[in-house]
């Protein structure tokens, strides 16, 4: 779009996730990456050169830093995209907000409720945006499931079953990805990584928060989470079950909603509806009226330019962090945890 003002973006954390998100960001009109940071300076330089190449600039024209604070000081971005390990989200995002930067942060917002609340509060106080990478909110299947549930298409909701499976053994050999399954590195392992998508989708599509949870986890080794199972009471009393595994032969993301008059089954790509007395049918899916299909990164850029609200602002992501923390605490203590 001609005349689109340039948005100066910095990137903190230059591993696998950053490379995926960089390609999405560079697909947006008028986005300029002005610096990349990573404690592994070689990784920062490699991503900076990739950003330069994507925008037709010479290698070395985008500066790289070993510390995100130097990036903020020297490159002065308007927004910082945060792709550092989960436990480093808080400090990186807070440093950006304190110097007046908007923040796009890969999910989860934080692995700690107090930290997440502090980030959301600082953003509100400074009038800044914090967009969280809950990309399943952009899936047409889940957008439509949320709409139908809100309209009562299957009657009063009575039960929700949510399942996510990932092939952990295949991932373990990939050095960049293996840390995601380790609680000591990631904070609750697979639960706080890809499991975070399932938790957020469960709350967002039903339009509810969680009231209490009882959970268990099993582990193949002392430091690696493999399976999490949880029973959750939603705010209106509806029970929900959550199951996350990293030892499946293939990927699966599915949420099934049972109402008094029917059933919905949503995956990341499809939506099936079965009303009482009728056979199941696939629901035709399309982007929401008046909106183009876009990435969660594109949604952040559009929100900064005043073209609509964030798909997932920090205030909403806070509910997901609360439930994630409660699940982990329930599994550790073997007690039902009530969310306040």
Domain ranges of the chain: 7-135, 136-285+313-338
Supply the pLDDT for residue 222: 47
pTM of the predicted model as reported, rounded to 2 decimal places: 0.89
Does the domain at 136-285+313-338 match CATH 3.30.360.10? Answer given as yes
Give the start-end residues of each E strand in 193-261.
Answer: 210-221, 224-234, 239-245, 247-259
Spell out the alpha helix ranges (H) of 207-265: none
The answer to whether residues 229 and 215 touch, using CB atoms and an 8 Å cutoff, is: yes
Query: What tokens appear for 132 in the block?
Result: 């969280």
Report DSSP letters for 149-176, one per residue: HHHTTT-SEEEEEEEEEEEHHHHHT-HH
Phi-psi region of 98 (alpha: psi -120 to 50; beta: other; left: phi over 0): alpha
Supply the pLDDT for residue 227: 80
Q: Round to whole Å and give the CA distance between 255 and 136.
A: 12
Q: 179 falls in which pLDDT band (50, 70, 90)?
A: low
* DSSP β-ladder status, 281-282 and 271-275: antiparallel
Q: 253 falls in which pLDDT band (50, 70, 90)?
A: very high
Q: Which residues contact 91 (CB under 8 A, 6 or more apart)?
A: none
Burial class (CB in 10 A: 0-12, 13-18, 19+), 5: exposed
The residue-averaged pLDDT of 247-270 equals 92
Instruction: Tell me which architecture the domain covering 7-135 has in CATH.
Output: 3-Layer(aba) Sandwich (3.40)
N residues, the chain = 340
Supply the pLDDT for residue 142: 96
Q: 167 falls in which pLDDT band (50, 70, 90)?
A: confident
Judged against a pLDDT cut of 70, whether residue 181 lies above it is answered with no
Q: Round to whole Å and give the CA distance between 116 and 89.
A: 9
Supply the pLDDT for residue 190: 78
What is each CA distance from 134 to 63, 221, 227, 295, 316, in whole angstroms? 29, 29, 21, 10, 10
In the chain, the percentage of residues whose pLDDT exceeds 70 is 88
DSSP state at residue 332: H
Q: Which is nearest to 109 in space by CA: 171, 184, 183, 187?
A: 187
Same fold, 7-135 and 136-285+313-338: no
Question: Could you report the per-residue pLDDT of 71-129, keeping only the tens digit for each?
Answer: 999 999 999 999 998 889 999 999 999 999 999 999 989 988 999 999 999 999 999 99
The residue-averaged pLDDT of 290-319 equals 87
Q: 260 falls in which pLDDT band (50, 70, 90)?
A: very high
The answer to whether residues 34 and 77 touch, using CB atoms and an 8 Å cutoff, is: yes
Query: What tokens appear for 292 in the block?
Result: 């183009």
Query: What tokens appear for 230 in the block?
Result: 């949880």
The residue-averaged pLDDT of 138-153 equals 96
Mean pLDDT of the chain: 89
Supply the pLDDT for residue 1: 44
Supply the pLDDT for residue 201: 97
Supply the pLDDT for residue 163: 96
Q: Which residues contact 274 (CB under 8 A, 6 or more apart)?
A: 262, 263, 280, 281
Indicate if the alpha-carbon torsion angle 301, 305, 308, 312 is positive or negative.
positive
Supply the pLDDT for residue 211: 97
Q: Round to whole Å and give the CA distance between 240 and 256.
A: 10
């Amino acid at each position: 779009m001609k005349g689109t003002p340039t948005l100066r973006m910095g990137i903190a954390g230059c591993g696998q996730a950053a490379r995926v998100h960089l390609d999405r960001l560079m697909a947006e009109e008028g986005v300029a990456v002005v610096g990349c940071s990573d404690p592994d300076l070689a990784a920062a330089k490699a991503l900076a050169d990739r950003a330069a190449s994507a925008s037709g600039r010479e290698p070395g024209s985008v500066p790289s830093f070993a510390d995100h604070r130097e990036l903020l000081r020297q490159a002065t971005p308007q927004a910082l995209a945060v792709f550092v390990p989960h436990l480093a989200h808080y400090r990186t995002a807070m440093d950006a907000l304190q110097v007046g930067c908007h923040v796009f942060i890969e999910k989860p917002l934080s692995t700690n409720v107090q930290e997440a609340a502090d980030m959301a509060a600082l953003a509100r106080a400074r009038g800044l945006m914090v967009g969280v990478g809950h990309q399943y909110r952009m899936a047409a299947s889940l957008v439509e499931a949320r709409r139908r549930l809100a309209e009562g298409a299957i009657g009063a909701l009575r039960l929700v079953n949510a399942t996510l499976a990932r092939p952990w053994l295949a991932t373990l050999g990939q050095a960049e990805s293996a840390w995601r399954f380790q609680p000591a590195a990631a904070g609750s392992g697979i639960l706080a990584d890809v499991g975070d998508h399932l938790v957020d989708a469960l709350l967002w599509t039903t339009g509810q928060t969680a009231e209490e949870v009882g959970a268990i986890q099993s582990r193949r080794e002392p430091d690696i989470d493999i399976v999490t199972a949880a029973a959750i009471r939603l705010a209106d009393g509806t029970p929900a079950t959550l199951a996350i595994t990293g030892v499946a032969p293939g990927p699966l993301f599915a949420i099934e909603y049972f109402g008094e008059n029917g059933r919905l089954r949503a995956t990341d790509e499809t939506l099936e509806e079965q009303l009482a007395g009728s056979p199941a049918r696939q629901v035709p899916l399309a982007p929401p009226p008046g909106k183009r299909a876009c990435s969660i990164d594109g949604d952040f850029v559009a929100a900064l330019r005043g073209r609509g609200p964030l798909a997932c602002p920090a205030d909403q992501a806070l509910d997901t962090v609360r439930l994630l923390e409660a699940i982990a605490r329930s599994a550790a203590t073997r007690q039902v945890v009530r969310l306040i």
